[in-house]
Amino acid sequence: MSQRDPKANFYQLIRDGYCLIGDVLNPDMLHRLRQVIAELLDAQSQENRAPFQKRFSP
């Protein structure tokens, strides 16, 4: 998603429960965040992590 009108981001957040805002994290921070998320998911049971695995897999 491009950097669009903040109101559009707000309405998407309300409608969908999330909105994407690009270029907030630098590539190194994004890589580290994905690693930590993967570690946290690994600590969960398969049943608990299944809904999130596709979204946050590095």
Average pLDDT value for the chain: 83
Share of the chain above pLDDT 70, in %: 84
How many Å apart are CA 58 and CA 22, to the nearest integer? 17
Residue-wise pLDDT for 11-38, tens only, equals 999 999 999 888 889 999 999 999 998 8
| 45 confidence band (pLDDT: 50, 70, 90) | confident
Domain range list for the chain:
24-58
| 53 confidence band (pLDDT: 50, 70, 90) | low
Q: Residue 54: its pLDDT value, please?
A: 66
Tokens representing residue 23 in the block: 């270029």
